[in-house]
Amino acid sequence: MERPNEKQPATATLPETQVPAPASVVTVDLAAAKVRREQSDSNAVAERSAPLHSLRNEIRIWTRDLLIAIGLALVIIVFLYQPVKVEGTSMAPLLSDQERIFINKFVYRFEPIQRGDVVVFWYPLDHSKSFIKRVVGLPGETVQIRQGAVYVDGKVVPEPYVPPQYEDLSDFGPKLVPPDSYFVMGDHRISSNDSRVFGAVASRYIYGRAVFAYWPVDHFGSLSATDADTK
């Protein structure tokens, strides 16, 4: 028997429609943009903070170097130099009463004492006291004073550090300076207790040379054989 044609179920084809992009893709794109913005912001912050970091590093370096310099200065002052206070006016006008100066305690271990040096020494008649005077005569020389002018071995010694009003016009000598000793005098000749009174000073009593004045501030500076006439 012939079977009637079976009816096939009808099918319908829907028109093609465009499927929107998944929401997750949009989210990823937004997140990437956010990351880029954050990276840009962080880069900007880093660029702004770089000069500040460099400044801080520079300050740390300068502070370190300054502390090292101060430490070295203190070591030099403690072991090489000694601060002393001048009492009296025998070295005026180079040094005034109560003036503060530094003396070099080791200079004469490396070089000889020279004429014109301003030296600090133990007072030969009382070793508990220190005097400061200028070296005029060296070992073996003959010192003589004629009407205030100093002669060494018969030759006059120029003394620009002695102002006319401080000269002592009296005579002295001649006097031979013993070996390893020094004839010393104050620049304020009419007001100085020096080798004219207590004799030459043995080198073992001389323990420093005046090198620098630091107080009062108007005397701040180095001390040399020719400084007196500029103060």
The residues that are catalytic are 90, 133
CA dihedral over 68, 74, 76, 79, signed as positive or negative: negative
Sequence-separated (6 or more) residues with CB below 8 Å from residue 224:
none
CB atoms inside a 10 Å sphere around CB 101: 25
Q: Residue written as tokens 């880093």?
A: 46
Token readout for 163 is 């102002």
Give dist(CA 192, CA 11) in Å, integer.
137
| Residue 223 burial (CB count, 10 A) | 21
